[in-house]
Amino acid sequence: MTAITDIAAVGTWVRDARAIAVLSGAGMSAESGVPTFRDAQTGLWAKFRPEELATEAAFRADPRRVWDWYASRREMMKDVHPNAGHHAIAAFQQRHPGRLTLITQNVDGLHQAAGSVGTLALHGNLFEDIWLDPCMGAPGHGGVCDVSRALPGRPPTCADCSNALRPGVVWFGEMLPAVALAAAEDAAQACDLMLVVGTSGAVYPAAGLAHTARQSGARVVVINPEPTELDSVAHALVRATAAVAMPALLGG
């Protein structure tokens, strides 16, 4: 049984740690006003499960519907800013260069906006568009579709072939970016303390990094106001929100 711990006790582990890995999830951004995946399903979108929208098959079946869902998520995030938790992580990295590796499942760019360096974004970036398919080789095309010449639409399409733009996020069933995942696995193996914050621990392979850290001998701390699927992996549970716990642990 993992103990529910007060923040001060975990603070001593932070001070002693040589290498810290932070694994963050959607709850990290909740106090910035970004809804978690489940909470984002409101209004028009309430009748869909994220698994019915965030897949390549869903996009191919109904590109406009999936494009519009992401457009609504981009719109929701337009006026959103990093919170005290994002800032505490970035400030710690600046005070202690090379001591904290940040691994995030978030696609909202808030860690990067707070100034975190070398963020390993395992699930991509909501604000980047990428092509759905390889270039279809229209004459004069030069072998690569040109984003700057994309025709406006829902979704925008290539001016020369029928390729479509899609959001640069990792969909259910897709591979994670190999370089970021390998770096995250290295960090999970090398750290002596992993802080798992704001994730339900339900999405793999990201959640597997907490198991890797534990098996490699690190202390694992889950920071979340609610129970998670990684609680049994943790040495300590901090039942607090990200914007309260991260400044308390890492310094404000």
Binding site for ligand NAD (CB under 6 A): 25-27, 29-31, 34, 36-38, 105-108, 123, 198-200, 202-203, 224-226, 228, 241-242
Which of 119/163 has CB closer to ligand NAD? Answer: 119
Which of 100/246 has CB closer to ligand NAD? Answer: 246
**Residues annotated as part of the active site:** 123
Cα-Cα-Cα-Cα torsion 95, 30, 74, 68, nearest 10 degrees, comes to 150
Minimum CB–partner distance for residue 221 and ligand NAD (Å) = 13
Minimum CB–partner distance for residue 238 and ligand NAD (Å) = 10
Query: What is the C-alpha separation between 225 and 16, in angstroms, rounded?
Result: 25
Q: Which residue is nearest to ligand NAD (CB)?
A: 27
Which of 105/157 has CB closer to ligand NAD? Answer: 105
Which of 27/247 has CB closer to ligand NAD? Answer: 27
Minimum CB–partner distance for residue 69 and ligand NAD (Å) = 12
Minimum CB–partner distance for residue 31 and ligand NAD (Å) = 5
Which of 119/224 has CB closer to ligand NAD? Answer: 224
Minimum CB–partner distance for residue 252 and ligand NAD (Å) = 16
